[in-house]
Structure 1
Amino acid sequence: MLRQVFESFRFAWQALRSNLLRTTLSLLGVTVGIFAIIAVFTLVDSLERNIRTSLSFIGDKVIYVQKWPWNFDGEYQWWKYFQRPEPNMNEYRFLSAKLENAQAVAAMDFKGRQTVKQGNNSMTSLIQGITFEYNLISDVPVAQGRYFTQQEIDVARNVAIIGSDVAQNLFPGIDPVGKSFKINGLNYVVIGIQEAKGESLLNFGGNPDIKCLIPLGAFAKMYHSVNPSIDIVAKGYDTDEGLLELESEIRGLMRTRRGLRPLQADNFAMNRPEAAAQAISGIFAVLTIAGWVIGGFSILIGGFGIANIMFVSVKERTNIIGIQKSLGAKNYVILFQFLFEAVLLSLVGGLAGILLVYLLSFMQLGSLDLQLSAGNIALGLGVSSVIGVLSGIIPAFSAARMDPVIAIRSK
């Protein structure tokens, strides 16, 4: 039986090779359809991977306590939030002391587009003041040097952890650790360099490569009063599903601290990075559906094209089918012969579409790194195989059920 199946496969391959132009025209629809579907899936996967990488730099399972809420629904009633007070250091210390459902609580503040200098070298940087537990909230991968000590944070020492771009621009060709540079006219000593992140589609919290992390106290001395406005971040436990316990506790403590009455609305916002990911995931879902719709129409047209060619092929080879059956060929051999031909034709079209996506992945799309995954390749081949079976099953059945006498006598 296996030998007969193999012979059917070989016969199908020879039939496709003997009609190259017809074969090529038949598989174009499948090629375009598989290309559309797999290209969209590859794009969505690459975007999600890029966003997950970006989110790792602002923390996982964290809640940001801020004045302004993050908005992703297109309607932002800013006038409701304008009069809210900014979170401050006293509130940070209050939450840090009182929160029981938080692994860590940190405070931070930013100052963008600041010029940092070292000798004749300078660049525009993002200055971020942080407290000691910031590395428990957010990813701070130190490639050289070390992280801050508690004492350096407490006494607001002028030390800094700089990004890879800052290191390359201010200290070309030398090791920056232990060297000093200027921020806002003040000397800071480099104690660490973050790993290079590279360009990212979404830089939540700023690109780490151009950042300078400094103690929040030192930041306040440069840019603020004694009690600066800040962002407060709390990291929840893994056992707190949805961070419901942490969110409830923060809300209760902040309302108590600010003396809000029961019927008064919150005058602070609790923001989560997951909200951004969920909002973007909604866009990805639409893109995925669009890819299936566009690709589905192309594949449908390709499937009809393959079915049409298979009916033509059956008609052309009716006499040969009659001879094969008169020589003892079973119905399933004839069935497999035409079914293999349809599946092979569809698979070749699918492989061509996947190859186009693979070539597309070498294109430079800014900070987006396209990668064709094995899962998407398997999906493309699977869809191609199904289309081939559906397109060839009826022509194959009609060929297998032919009467050998009538088939031989046909012209």
Structure 2
Amino acid sequence: MLFFRLTWESFLFAFSALKSNLTRTILSLLGVTVGIFAIIAVFTLVDSLENNIKSSFSFLGTNVIRVDRFPFDSPPQNFPWWKYFRRPAATVSEYRFLQENIQNAEGITISASATTTLQAGSNAYQGTQLTGVAYTYQDVYEVALEEGRYFTEVEVNASRNLAIIGKKIANTLYPNQPIIGKEIKMRGLKFIVVGVFEEEGEGLFDLPSKDEACLIPYGAFNKMFYTGRNGIEPTIAAKGNENDIGLVALENEMIGLLRAKRGLKPTQEDNFSLNKTEFIQNTIGSIFDVISSAGWVIGGFSILVGGFGIANIMFVSVRERTNIIGIQKSLGAKNYFILFQFLFEAVCLSLIGGGTGIILVYFLSFIQLGTLELVLSVQNIILGLGVSSIIGVVSGIVPATLAARMDPVEAIRST
């Protein structure tokens, strides 16, 4: 009960100080408001931008290792492109070998992609990202369908002319019509639509989207395009287990199996690159970490000014209430009671400033920035309130300590 009574009295004192010196308080809290607004606004923008960019690379999958000729993380200086260019492309034979022998993968698949035009009657869709896939494609990459179904293993092995298309393609080829079971054409061949991807919407960058994608069985793809070293190079991809941190076990196993399949001697270096899709996401994250640090610097100066403003308010408040402090202590109030009273007032004032900054960021999130959707996360709200509380404690601790150590007789005598 003492704690709640103390908290309530401290709140009343803080509210009274705020109300009696409204102009002074607002000007002093402006620094905290601007600082919290700057930090949380930058974090909200950075988080939203980072999530948007990472979702744009969702077509690469998560926890996936790809077999490529060129490495993702090769430095631009002295890039030995001629060495990578001479490397052999992945083959169906290698995919089958890995599929039969690999132990540390949830799934492994092979695919090949090309850009083509789809037609249906007088309607056409250009720039379609056409991908020929094995049946195991769904084990490695997410295939979220809004309508229809995925291919059966028999259909893929028989190289049936079936297709799963994106929502934008479906709306273009057959506007306002059901499309499952309808016929489309590509490169002179007829295909039957068996599924439609869930709509993704516009991305921040012009990257492959399922809205403009089309999946067909790998064998059907080979009917239209030549795959191999001098044609369209297929990609082997394996999805790692969740408990394989960093995909270390999967990577080591794939290296051993591929070296054995390609007949590499122990002294020969690898003639392939294993690329983890998380490398791109980690690179993006490191870039935004730098931007977040800049946000701390920008907002930190404003918060520093706001902290001095709150400290100034508390020093003035202690001076104005010196007589009251003396009376409270003469009636038996302990030092911690006086300390907590002023410290709570400082934290309360700082939270008002920080809360105002967060509210401004919340309204900012309603601004339309093209395809970028700003989202104020709970984590950033907690961060803003936490920083505000710390600023309140740091700014109020010295004035509160001076008030707690006052001699009651001297305090009552002061005018």
The two structures have a TM-score, normalised by structure 2, of 0.89
For residues 131-183 of structure 1, the C-alpha deviation after alignment (integer angstroms, 9 at most, x for no partner) is: 11100110001221110112221222211000111111211111110001122
Q: Give 2:311's match in structure 1, choosing from 307, 318, 331.
A: 307
Q: 1:73 to 1:292 in 2, by over 3 A?
A: farther
Deviation at 1:280, TM superposition (A): 1.9
Provide the residue aligned with 1:59 in structure 2: 61
Provide the residue aligned with 1:264 in structure 2: 268
Deviation at 1:228, TM superposition (A): 5.5
CA separation in 2, counterparts of 1:18 and 1:92? 77
CA contact (8 A) 1:57 1:140 kept: no
Q: Give 2:72's match in structure 1, choosing from 70, 86, 95.
A: 70
Q: 1:98 to 1:202 in 2, by over 3 A?
A: farther
Deviation at 1:283, TM superposition (A): 1.8
Amino acid in structure 1 at the alignment position of 2:181: G
Within-5 A mapping of 1:121-140: 121-124=123-126, 125-140=128-143
For residues 333-375 of structure 1, the C-alpha deviation after alignment (integer angstroms, 9 at most, x for no partner) is: 5434432332121111100111122122222334333222222
Deviation at 1:23, TM superposition (A): 0.9
Q: 1:212 to 1:391 in 2, by over 3 A?
A: same
Provide the residue aligned with 2:179 in structure 1: 176
Query: What secondary structure sits across from 2:29 in the alignment?
Result: helix
Deviation at 1:393, TM superposition (A): 1.7
Provide the residue aligned with 2:223 in structure 1: 221
Structure 2: gaps (5+ residues): none
Q: 1:324 to 1:234 in 2, by over 3 A?
A: closer
Provide the residue aligned with 1:161 in structure 2: 164
Identical amino acids, percent of aligned pairs: 56
Provide the residue aligned with 1:348 in structure 2: 352
Within-5 A mapping of 1:352-367: 352-367=356-371
Q: Give 1:293's match in structure 2, choosing from 291, 297, 301.
A: 297
CA contact (8 A) 2:34 2:303 kept: yes
For residues 232-267 of structure 1, the C-alpha deviation after alignment (integer angstroms, 9 at most, x for no partner) is: 112233454433333223222322333333222222
Provide the residue aligned with 1:392 in structure 2: 396
CA separation in 2, counterparts of 1:216 and 1:301? 64
CA contact (8 A) 2:34 2:299 kept: yes
Amino acid in structure 1 at the alignment position of 2:318: V
Q: Give 2:195's match in structure 1, choosing from 187, 192, 195.
A: 192
Single out whichever of 88-97 and 188-197 deviates more from structure 2: 88-97
Single out whichever of 235-244 and 135-144 deviates more from structure 2: 235-244
State the aligned residue count: 409
The two structures have a TM-score, normalised by structure 1, of 0.89
CA separation in 2, counterparts of 1:236 and 1:17? 61
CA separation in 2, counterparts of 1:283 and 1:196? 29
Amino acid in structure 2 at the alignment position of 1:394: V
CA contact (8 A) 1:58 1:137 kept: no
Single out whichever of 377-386 and 331-340 deviates more from structure 2: 331-340
Amino acid in structure 2 at the alignment position of 1:216: Y
Amino acid in structure 2 at the alignment position of 1:380: G
Query: What secondary structure sits across from 2:60 in the alignment?
Result: coil
RMSD over aligned CA atoms reads: 2.6
Q: Give 1:381's match in structure 2, choosing from 365, 380, 385.
A: 385
Structure 1: gaps (5+ residues): none
In the alignment, structure 1 residue 242 sits paired with structure 2 residue 255: no
Deviation at 1:316, TM superposition (A): 3.6
Provide the residue aligned with 1:6 in structure 2: 8
Query: What secondary structure sits across from 1:81 in the alignment?
Result: helix
Amino acid in structure 1 at the alignment position of 2:259: R
CA separation in 1, counterparts of 2:202 and 2:380? 25
Amino acid in structure 2 at the alignment position of 1:282: S
Query: What secondary structure sits across from 1:315 in the alignment?
Result: helix
